[in-house]
Amino acid sequence: MPILKNQQREECVGKYKRMKKIPTEFWMVLPALIVLVVITVFPFIYTVQLSFKHYPYIQVQSHIRRVEWVGLDNWIRMLTDPKVGRYWIVTLKYVLGALSCEIALGIAAALLLNRIRIFQDLLTTLSLSPMFFAPVLVGLLGRYMLHDSYGVYSYFAHQLGLFENISIFGDGRTALLALIALDIWEWTPLVTIIVLAGLKSLPREPFEAVSIDGANAWQRLWYLTLPMLKPVLLVALIIRTMDILRYFVKFLITTRGGPADATKIVAIAVYDQAFQAWRMGYAATLTLSMLIVTIVLGIVFVRFFAGMGQE
């Protein structure tokens, strides 16, 4: 008996020693890890299995009828529905339109701000203000200022003879443009400060060298500044792409995808399927297709980071 006891004790001591071997840092990471697994991994797995189900959800909670496994039905429906293709085209138009303008205007504004000597800090800070507007507010402000009868921007446009007989958010031709414009207004400042930070970190010597060689301002910009800014621009591009795909509140506030699906991006389609039609299964399928796109972008982002040199 005593031998066995000893053995047991040794086992206990061994366990304790192994416990001690686990570094304190591990215990520091653990809580966050557990929380994240519970609130993100678990829901993700749930979404995947939801995409193989027919899951009509009635607004009154926990009153669910006829949940059934339907195999690949949702996926087939998504891949064969021509509407889904159109949602993606609208999304693509929106992303490309907003991104290209934000990058171009952001670079321009950053170059200008970088040139001025006085009040640079003040003006930069002022120019950041749109970024702090809640998306809901950007949407509401857009509706207010572009309203066809009392909107101040519409008034300016009418004076110039533009958009005279149309309601900007009510017309399929202008609604998406208006939404792109809202996003450009809100997020160009972010690109601007990213580029500005990049400009400030550029080395001076190459510029001095080429100006001795007689390069003019345009040549310097095109052959020197922009190529050297490439990594910074890439970061701005990736961050903006991911955020544009993530957020959809401006659409929800202004057009809700209308008129006639002209502004229906994929995120809005998911929202409609989930919280208007309450078809959770199909919505989950659409969500996963969005997630695939984001994962690809995420991999690009992580690659970029890994390339920057791991500490």
Partner 1 sequence: MKISRLQRKEQKAFHGYSLTDFLAKVGLTIILGVFLFWWLFPVYWMISSAFKVDVSMFTLPPTWIFKPDLSNFRNLFATKGFSSYVVNSVIVALSSTTIAVILGSLAGYGLARGKIRGKNHIAFWMISTRMAPIVGMMLPLYILFGRFRLVGTLRALILAYTTFNLPFAVWLMRGFFLEIPRDVEEAALVDGCTKLQTFFHIALPLAKPGLVAMAALCFMFAWNDYAFAVIFTSGKTQTLPVACQRLMTEYGIVWGQVMTTGIILVAPVLFLGIVIRKYLVRGLTMGAIR
Residues numbered 255 to 274 that lie near partner 1 (CB under 8 A) are 267, 270-271, 274
Q: Which of 79, 275, 276, 277 binds partner 1 (CB under 8 A)?
A: 275
Amino acid type, 223: Y
How far is Cα 74 from Cα 83, in angstroms, rounded to an integer? 14
**Residue 90 or 253 having the CB closest to partner 1:** 253
Query: In the window 196-235, what residues touch partner 1 (CB under 8 A)?
Result: 197-198, 208, 211-214, 232, 235
Q: Which of 1, 32, 160, 260 binds partner 1 (CB under 8 A)?
A: 32
**Residue 62 or 80 having the CB closest to partner 1:** 62
Binding segment toward partner 1, per CB under 8 A, in 5-13, 76-84, 256-264, 279-287: 279-287
Binding segment toward partner 1, per CB under 8 A, in 11-19, 95-103, 162-170, 192-200: 192-200
CB of 18 to partner 1, least distance (A): 15
How far is Cα 240 from Cα 186, in angstroms, rounded to an integer? 11
Binding segment toward partner 1, per CB under 8 A, in 32-40, 92-100, 162-170, 171-179: 32-40
64 forms beta bridges with 57
3-state secondary structure of 279: strand
**Residue 167 or 294 having the CB closest to partner 1:** 294
CB of 9 to partner 1, least distance (A): 26
User: How many C-beta neighbours within 10 Å does residue 253 have?
Assistant: 18
Helices 42-50 + 280-307 axis angle, to 10: 130
Q: Which of 174, 193, 225, 257 binds partner 1 (CB under 8 A)?
A: 193
User: How many C-beta neighbours within 10 Å does residue 220 have?
Assistant: 15
Binding segment toward partner 1, per CB under 8 A, in 10-18, 82-90, 160-168, 296-304: 296-304
User: How many C-beta neighbours within 10 Å does residue 18 have?
Assistant: 9
Binding segment toward partner 1, per CB under 8 A, in 10-18, 79-87, 160-168, 245-253: 245-253
Among candidate residues 252, 234, 243, 227, the one with its CA nearest the CA of residue 305:
234
3-state secondary structure of 127: helix
Total of chain residues touching partner 1, rule CB under 8 A: 100
User: How many C-beta neighbours within 10 Å does residue 280 have?
Assistant: 22
Query: In the window 167-186, what residues touch partner 1 (CB under 8 A)?
Result: 185
How far is Cα 217 from Cα 209, in angstroms, rounded to an integer? 13
How far is Cα 262 from Cα 274, in angstroms, rounded to an integer? 20
CB of 57 to partner 1, least distance (A): 7
Query: In the window 45-64, what residues touch partner 1 (CB under 8 A)?
Result: 46-47, 50, 57, 61-62
Q: Which of 36, 79, 96, 162 binds partner 1 (CB under 8 A)?
A: 36
CB of 245 to partner 1, least distance (A): 6
CB of 219 to partner 1, least distance (A): 11
Residue 53: DSSP 8-state: E
3-state secondary structure of 276: coil
Token pair of 8 as six digits: 């047991």
CB of 55 to partner 1, least distance (A): 8
CB of 31 to partner 1, least distance (A): 5
In which residue are the tokens 């949702």 written?
Answer: 74
Query: In the window 84-143, what residues touch partner 1 (CB under 8 A)?
Result: 105, 108-109, 112-113, 115-116, 123, 125-137, 140-141
Among candidate residues 300, 152, 289, the one with its CA nearest the CA of residue 237:
300
3-state secondary structure of 224: helix
